[in-house]
């Protein structure tokens, strides 16, 4: 792959990271998108060591949204599971 194709691939991945990160803020179904955004961001960061990324702000925004979404929906999921377990087995 030549340098231009690698840069285009990196720019598209940065935009994809932002879109997935924003989708990660959607209730219930957002967790997989947030995790995908974090994964994509890691791969883009490796490419940024070789090439300048013009879409770096988009990647950073995606990571921020993905991190917030991941933490938020994981905590909410844990609360829901705890409530179901307490309802099933009682507070003993």
pLDDT over 90 at 18, yes or no: yes
Q: What is the mean pLDDT of residues 5-30?
A: 93
DSSP string, 10-29: HHHHHHHHHHHHHHTTSTTT
The model's pTM: 0.86
- Report the percentage of the chain scoring pLDDT > 90: 82
pLDDT over 90 at 75, yes or no: yes
How does residue 34 score in pLDDT terms, banded at 50, 70 and 90? very high
CA pair distance 1, 22, nearest whole angstrom: 30
């Amino acid at each position: 792959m030549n340098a231009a194709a690698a840069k285009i691939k990196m720019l598209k991945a940065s935009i994809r990271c932002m879109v997935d990160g924003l989708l990660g803020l959607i209730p219930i179904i957002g967790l997989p998108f947030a995790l995908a955004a974090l994964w994509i961001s890691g791969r883009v960061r490796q490419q940024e060591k070789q090439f300048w990324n013009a879409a770096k702000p988009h990647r950073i925004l995606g990571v921020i949204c993905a991190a917030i979404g991941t933490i938020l929906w994981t905590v909410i999921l844990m609360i829901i599971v705890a409530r179901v377990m307490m309802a099933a087995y009682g507070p003993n």
